[in-house]
Structures are given as C-alpha cells and as structure tokens.
A and B are shown apart, each in its own frame.
Chain A
Amino acid sequence: MQEILPYLINGVSVGGQYALIAIGYTLVYGILRLINFAHGDVFMVAGLVMVYTTTALPMYVALPLVLIATVVLGFVIERVAYKPLRTAPRMSLMISAIGVSYLIQNLAFYITGGVPQPVTVPIPWISENVLLFGQSTKRVTLVTPVLTILLVVGLVYLINHTRMGMAMRAAAKDFETAQLMGIKINAVISVTFVIGSFLAAVGALLYFTNYPSVGITSGAMPGLKAFVAAVFGGIGSIPGAVVGAFIIGLCEELIKGLGYTTFSDAFTFALLIVVLCVRPTGLFGEKVTDKV
C-alpha cells in the first residue's frame, strides 16, 4: 500500500486535470458533434502563456492573463475555423480541427524555436511541498481534485439553472430545432468554447506548474486522453467526463507504478477501443438510433 499510495494521489490529481480538459471536449461534442482536435493544443498554449507571463509579470496579473488569453484563443478558433463550416459535412469540420491543431503546434514551434520552455516561476503556495499520509507531495495534487469538483458543480449549476444553460441543452438535443426556436446558436457555441477554454486554462495552470517545461506537443497526449475520458464517460455528459477522467488518471498512474510506463498511453487507447466496441455510448451516454 505504501508503495502504491503516491501513485494513487498522483492519479487523482492527474485525473482532475484531465477532467478539466475533458469537459471542453464533451461540451463541444454535445453541440457540434465535433472532436475538437485543437483543444489539447489550446491547453498547451495556456501552458506557454503561463511560462511567458509568470516570468515577466507579477503572479496576480499573470494568472488572469493566462485565463483571458486562452478564452480568447478558444473563441477565435471557433469563429475562424468552425463557424464557416456550419453547413459542411462533418468530415470537413474534423479536418479543419486537425488543421487548427497543426497550425497551433507549428506557430508554437516558431515562437519557441522548438525548445521546450522551462517553467521557472511555478505558481506559489500550490507548488509547495506538503506531507500527505506520510508522503511528500506538492500541494497542487490536493488542490486539483477539489478545485475540479468545485468548478464542475458550478458548471452543472450554470447548465441546469440559467437561460444560457437551457439554450446549451436545447442546442445539444437538436441543433436545428433549437435554431428555429429562436436560440442564438452562434452565441451558444461561442459560450461553449469560452467555457471549455477557460477550464482547459485552469487545467493547464495546475498541470504545468507541476512540470519542468512546456513543449509544443505537451498538449497532444493530455488532450487525447481527456477526449478518451469524455468518450468513456459518455460523450455529451459532464459528470461522465469527470468520472471517466478520474478513472483514466488513476489507471494510468497505477500502470506506471507497476513498471509499464511504455504502456500507460497505450492503455488509455485500449480502454477507448474496448468502450467503443462494447458500449459506444459510454458510462452515462444516451442511446441514439439512426432514422431511415
């Protein structure tokens, strides 16, 4: 138990970070039926912005700036790359998402010179070491799950009890009808991207403060895993994404703990394929039947 414990603690923390990314996937997929391949890169950009702002500015300016920059990026991506393709086939939309991901990575490469940017000024307080069950760990591992749960509760409230939330639910249920009923679909989609990017930015702050550096592909793997978490939980379902993310975070860390680090990524995909084949709607998803 004593050997596994640090991995368990880490798993919960990593799971929380995945959850924050996964919500972005699940919200967007719920409405646009699009795997937003660029979401992992948005997460990476948040990390890069954090590196740059924290070295140049005081923390209380830098952190809000990270959140704002990421939210703006998410908003712009939707407006420029997805909105013009509203009526195009889904394949075009997915290709556009892959193109955006490619673009962001290449721009990041250009700006950083391809060199991973070291995190020199980690966020204070949460990156201090504390003792937990006799193990030394950074405070962020404790903060992450708590903050994740709080944000998710807030989000669920927003979706279930506000007008915008109702519009989002309507758009997710039936895009066209929602539009006909006078819902400003573009505004709803923008809000969805703003929320998704905001949560990804929070996730990035927590994730990268624990990491030595941010590279241009740092977002790809967490992004894909968060997507798997969203599918695993049942895409479109927020609680599903969160539960899925925690399960994946835990499993991944446990596999590392058992000494199979090479397979910690592969496991996630194996899980994905099993879920897709056995229960494509995930843990909490609804069944959809095609009409002929």
Chain B
Amino acid sequence: MTKRNKTLFTAVVLAAALAASLLVDAFLPSYHIAVQVIQKATVYALVAVSMNLLNGFTGLFSLGQAGFMLLGAYAYGVLTIPVDKRASVYQYFDGGAIHFSIPEIFSGVLGETVGTTVGMLAALLVGGLLAALLAYLIGLPVLRLKSDYLAIATLGFAEILRAFFQWNALGPITNGSNLLKSYPTFSHVTPYVVLAGVMIAFIVLLINSTYGRAFKAIRDDEVAAEAMGINLSRHKRMAFVISSFFAGIGGGMMAMYMGTIAAAPFKSSLTYEILLIVVIGGIGSITGSVIASFLYIFSSEWLLRGLDSGTFLGINAPDIFKNGFRMAVFSVIIMVIVLFFRRGLMGDKELPDLPDMIRNGIRKLRAPRRRKEAGK
C-alpha cells in the first residue's frame, strides 16, 4: 500500500471510531453495558499506551503505573467534588481541608455547562501534572537502576504512595480510607474517546519525532545511544515524566467512570493487568495497545460474562462456569500469548500497516490450499 493510501486508511478508521462513539451516545442510555465497556476501554487504552511509551519504546521496565493513576484519580476527585457535597463526603474529617471545587469556579465565569466541562478538564490536567512532577522527582534516583531493579523500585514507589493516601493524617485531603464520591463525571462515551484519542495521538506524534527515535535508540542499545550524543538521564527522565503524565490523566478518567475513588483498586495488580494488555497488543505498538485494551475489556466485561454466571454459549454448567472462571481462562490465554506469541497481536506494526498485515495473513492462509490443489 502506498503511503498516501495508508494515511487515508488511518483517517477513515479514526473517523469511523468517532462516528461510532457519537452513534452510541445518540442511541444507547448511559447505563448500557456498551457505554461502560467503551469508557473503561478508552481509559485502559490511554494508560496502556503510556506504559508502552516507557516499556516498549524506551525500554524502561517500569511498574509504577498504578501509583501515577492513583495520584491522578485523587487529584481529580479532590478538586472537583462540589463544595456543598464536601460535608457529607468528608464526614469523618469535618468536611475536609479544601473548600473549593474547580468546576464550580469555572462555572462562575463561563456558565454552568462550559464551565463544568472546562473545570473537569483542568482537574484532569492537574492530576497529570502532579503525576509528572512526582515522576520528575523520583526519576533521578530510580532511572539509574537497571531493568528489574527499576521495575521493583517503581512498584515500591506506587505501594508507598498508596499507603500515604490511606493514611488518616492526610484524611482532610484524601478522606483516609473512605471513598471520595459525588464528583462530576462524563456520562457519554464521546468525551472519553476524544480525550484519550487526542492524548494517544500526541504520543504517536512524539514517538515518530526525533525524540521518539532517540527513545528507541536507548531501548535498542543504551551504550551506543549515549556514545552518539543522546543524554541518557535526560531522555529517560523525559519518557518517564511524559508516560506518568498520561497515566495520571488516565487515573483521573478512571475515577470518572468508576464514580468513586478509593486507594484499593490501584494496587500493583492493576499495573500487571495493564502490562499484560501491552503484551497482548505487542510491546512497541501503540495500535496494538489500543486494540488489546478494547478486546480485553470487551471480553472480560461483556463477552465472557457467562463464564462466571453459569451459562456460556448456551451451555449451562454452573459447577464449572462459576465465579472466577472468566479470569482463569483469561490468564491462561495471556500465558499462551506470553510464551508462544511473544510479538502479540501487532508486533511493532501500527494502524497504517494493518491492511497489509491482513492481506499477508489471508495470503498465508490460502497458500497451503493452493499447493494442495496444484498437487492434484
């Protein structure tokens, strides 16, 4: 396929995605499972892409994603809970220490609808910036560590962060071990799709720029990269900060669709889940991460629900299809991918390569048949 056709193809796919999300919003109620699935999948896609930027493109095996998401989620919740709801949310902490709400401040200036939206976006941004700031601070000592030590140190930081957010002394801000709730959320899917889409597009642009090439050089051979004038600590830190920024925003969006915030869901198992999504999609493919997120969420939340509730594909076997079977099946599939399809769905290919990949795939499938026919 020519370069021009590839661009055209990409544009058509993206436009179709946008149209689909608008259709979903027009015809499905916001409690419909499709809406839930799309919202969750876009958030996972964003976070998976941000993780891929670090693990897949820069070769830094970091497992701190859940921690940065936690920060983004809390920042969003703390800054957007309406002032008159604070007394009930922070009931154990005298209404909390913060007595303003960013969406309300913006509504005062820009009017209710626009102001709330702008305020929500601003709160997301603050969450992202806080995550980026933290990444900047811990990046200096942590990024000097080699592969697996880096993984365990970032994992450690995420756990430390979680402990702090559950600490009662910070309760006036974080609500301690109680839930944050009653904050404004987007009930449609289009805002999620557009937000995540714009941010993923930025990451794609970055990866294809001179900095993205430098990141890949660091991944392929650090010593050679440094010898060719790439400042390792600066570039690693940059990748870490950018990745964490988007993980922070992803955390804020996750808070939106969950409706309540607690520290518990942001355990290391969340990071593992996202890492496995990245692996399924292909380490080093943005498109792969996005597709894998949708596949993963779609099948675990919707398609394979039956595996947990007695009946699947019309087979009724409550003794086998009981709670937990879905995830067990899932983890087996993941292990098969990890062991036998190490390149994942997309390898290091991207959306524009997709038509060619499909064409080659079909050719390969047909080839043996043709040989058989020739043999006759």
| Residues from chain B with Cβ under 8 Å of A276 in the complex | 141-142, 145, 149, 153
Contact yes or no, A91 B152, CB < 8 A:
no
Specify which of B166, B168, B269, B338 is in contact with A99 (CB 8 Å cutoff). B338
Report the minimum CB–CB distance from A227 to chain B (whole Å).
Answer: 7
Whether B335 pairs with A277 at a CB distance below 8 angstroms is no
- Which listed residue, A111, A113, A114, A265, touches B159 by the CB 8 Å rule? A265
Which one of B31-39, B108-116, B187-195, B324-332 contacts A? B324-332
Residue of A nearest to B61 (CB): A91
A263–B159 alpha-carbon span in the complex (Å): 10
Q: Which residues 64-95 of A sit at the B interface, judged by CB distance below 8 A?
A: 80-81, 84-85, 88, 90-92, 94-95
Interfacial residues of chain A within 92-144, with CB under 8 A of chain B in the complex: 92, 94-96, 98-103, 105-107, 109-111, 113-114
- The answer to whether A85 touches B156, judged by C-beta atoms less than 8 angstroms apart, is no
Q: Contacts A113-B322, A263-B163, A277-B141 hold; do A96 and B328 have CB atoms under 8 A apart?
A: no
B202 contacts chain A at the CB level, 8 A cutoff: no
How close is A98's CB to chain B, nearest CB, in angstroms? Answer: 5
Which residues of A lie under 8 Å from residue B324 when comparing CB positions?
106, 109-111, 113-114
Assess A35 versus B148: contact at CB under 8 Å? Given A81-B335, A94-B61.
Answer: yes
Give every chain B residue within 8 A of A110 (Cβ-Cβ).
322-325, 327-328
Task: Evaluate whether A269 and B322 lie within 8 angstroms (CB atoms) in the complex, with A95-B279, A106-B328, A109-B327 already known.
Answer: no
Considering the chains assembled together, what is the distance between the CA atoms of A80 and B283 in angstroms? 22
- Asked if B223 lies at the interface with its beta carbon under 8 angstroms from chain A, I say yes
Q: Do the beta carbons of B338 and A95 come within 8 Å of each other?
A: yes
Chain A contact residues: helix, strand, loop or mixed: helix
The docked-state distance in angstroms from the alpha carbon of A109 to that of B157 is: 27
**Max chain B C-beta neighbours (<10 A), residue from A103, A107, A228, A263:** A103
A270 touching B160 in the complex, CB below 8 Å, given contacts A96-B339, A106-B324, A110-B325: yes
Looking at chain A, what size class is its interface with the partner chain?
35 or more
CB-defined interface of B131-173 with A at 8 Å, one 1/0 digit per residue? 0000000000110110111011101110110111011100000
The 0/1 profile, CB within 8 Å of A marked 1, for residues 51-72 of chain B is 0000100010100000000000
B323 touches A272 (CB 8 A): no
Chain B CB within 10 Å — which of A81, A91, A98, A270 has the most? A98
A175 smallest CB distance to B (angstroms): 16
Is A266 part of the contact surface with B, judged by Cβ < 8 Å? yes
Does B342 sit within 8 A of A, measured CB to CB?
yes
Q: Cβ of B147: which chain A residues have Cβ within 8 Å of it?
A: 90-91, 94
The answer on a CB contact under 8 Å between A272 and B156 is: yes
Q: Tell whether A256 is near chain B: CB-to-CB under 8 Å.
A: no
Asked if residues B145 and A102 are in contact (CB atoms below 8 Å), the reply is: no
* A258 at interface, CB cutoff 8 A: no
Docked CA distance A105–B334 (Å): 13
Residue of A nearest to B147 (CB): A90
Known: A94-B148, A266-B160, A273-B153. A99 touches B328 (CB 8 A): no
Whether B327 pairs with A106 at a CB distance below 8 angstroms is yes
Question: Is the C-beta of B272 less than 8 angstroms from some C-beta in chain A?
Answer: yes
Contact B159 A269 (CB under 8 A): yes
Complex CA gap A35/B151 in Å reads 10
- Contact partner, A113, options B157, B275, B323, B327, Cβ 8 Å: B323
Docked pose: A265 CA to B160 CA in angstroms: 8
Nearest opposing residue in chain A for B159, CB measure: A269
- The listed residue with most A CB atoms (<10 A of its CB), out of B61, B144, B332, B339, is B339
Do A280 and B160 have beta carbons less than 8 Å apart? no
A21 to chain B, nearest CB (A): 15
CA distance A34 to B155 in the complex (A): 16
Q: Nearest Cβ in chain A — how far from B243, in angstroms?
A: 16
Residues in A with CB closer than 8 Å to B55 are 91
Contact A84 B339 (CB under 8 A): yes
- Mark B293-333 against chain A: 1 for CB-CB distance below 8 A, else 0: 00000000000000000000000000000111101101110
Min CB–CB distance A115 → chain B (angstroms):
10
A1 part of interface (Cβ distance < 8 Å): no
The 8 Å CB contact of B142, one of A98, A100, A268, A273, is A273
Interface membership of B126, Cβ < 8 A: no
In the assembled complex, the CB of B329 is this many whole angstroms from the nearest CB of chain A, namely 9
Q: Is A262 part of the binding interface, using a Cβ–Cβ cutoff of 8 Å?
A: yes
The interface residues of chain A lying within 8 Å CB-to-CB of B279 are 95, 99
- Is residue B47 within 8 Å, beta carbon to beta carbon, of the partner chain? no
A-B contact pairs, 18 of them (CB 8 A): A33-B148, A90-B148, A91-B61, A94-B147, A99-B276, A99-B334, A99-B335, A102-B273, A102-B334, A106-B328, A109-B327, A110-B323, A228-B152, A266-B163, A269-B156, A269-B157, A270-B160, A290-B223
- B positions within 8 Å CB-CB of A: 55, 59, 61, 141-142, 144-145, 147-149, 151-153, 155-157, 159-160, 162-164, 166-168, 223, 268-269, 272-273, 275-276, 279, 283, 322-325, 327-328, 330-332, 334-335, 338-339, 342
Give the 9 A-B residue pairs with the shortest CB-CB distance, closest first. Answer: A269-B156, A110-B324, A266-B163, A103-B331, A106-B327, A109-B324, A266-B160, A277-B141, A110-B328
Sample of 12 more A-B contacts, CB < 8 Å, known A266-B160, A272-B152: A34-B148, A88-B342, A91-B61, A95-B275, A95-B276, A103-B328, A103-B335, A110-B328, A228-B156, A266-B162, A270-B156, A290-B223
